[in-house]
Copies of this chain bind each other. A is one copy, B any other.
């Protein structure tokens, strides 16, 4: 591998000049620039990124820490981040926290040790306080899918309450009154927000909230199925169920089938997130779109703007959910159901 030294020798200029053309500095004459470029081409010179990094204390790399690497979201998110970053000549260093607090912190240290210029965090296990503490250190970072008021400017998140509201409202508008709700774990912020939105829609429609129609799941498929079975066991009537994510909704569909309940003619189901597999389901799942790609892209824009000082980038932190109507929700028929 040719070094900058050989380029300078071949071009007949100093190291500094080569470095200058490499970094697009002003104050380099066209003439030397040409000479240097020619020498670089001839030697097939490729700058050593490690050496650059050491000398400049920039690494052109962004650390990405996610709680889990699998699941329907991660691919979309990362794809979006990677593309935006690479277009800007940067790159992603990926690490997973495997949903364990200790492991997440380790991952964080790992990325910091790697001299990342900035961090993108999509973490569950770490506490708000940990993140607020981190914000006092010098490494810039953004947080995806979470809203911490103290550092709101660094957070990119969905209006979960609105999402929960939209889902419930859609069911209500289809004539449903007995609406079950399968929630995510209430220890998680997004779960409570979605649930809040759900209740809000009920209140607005003057539908009393029936505790027997609430089930706290864990965002995994099986808990959707469990939820349905729980409702059935309790002999509580419902013509629709709203689920706090699509995995649970798919579980709920199965749970309904277990009990000979046809979707959607006997019972409508709506999910949340618009994971890509929702289209594969039968019936295709109506759901709430979670613009994770847009959020991911925005988070990289924040970094481009604030860390790499690129201009003309608008930043928005709050993203809006949208109703996606597909096949799993239908109008309640004239007569009483079931």
Contacts and interface: CB of A to CB of B under 8 A. Distances in A.
Given A96-B83, A277-B277, A59 B70 contact: no
A69 B59 contact: no
A40 to B, nearest CB: 14
A49 interface: yes
Nearest to A277: B277
Contacts of A94: 78, 82, 91-94
Nearest to A94: B94
A79 B70 contact: yes
> Most chain-B CB neighbours within 10 Å: which of A76, A91, A253, A257?
A91
A54 B52 CA distance: 10
A115 B48 contact: yes
A114 B95 contact: no
Contact of A91 (B74, B83, B112, B114): B114
A168 B27 CA distance: 69
Interface residues of A, number: 48
A46 B114 CA distance: 10
Q: Which 8 A-B pairs have the closest CB atoms?
A: A70-B75, A69-B79, A277-B277, A250-B280, A50-B53, A50-B54, A74-B75, A70-B79
Contacts of A79: 68-70, 96
8 contacts: A48-B115, A54-B54, A82-B94, A91-B95, A92-B94, A93-B94, A254-B282, A280-B280
A281 interface: yes
Interface in A143-179: none
Contacts of A92: 93-95
Interface of A: 46-51, 53-54, 59, 61, 68-71, 74-76, 78-79, 82-83, 86, 91-96, 98, 107, 109-110, 112-115, 221, 247, 250, 253-254, 257, 276-277, 279-282
A110 B82 contact: no
Nearest to A115: B50
A99 to B, nearest CB: 11
Given A76-B70, A280-B280, A114 B49 contact: yes
A115 B250 contact: no
Contacts of A253: 282
Given A83-B96, A83-B98, A115-B48, A279 B221 contact: yes
A280 B284 CA distance: 12
Contacts of A70: 75-76, 78-79, 276
Contacts of A277: 277, 280
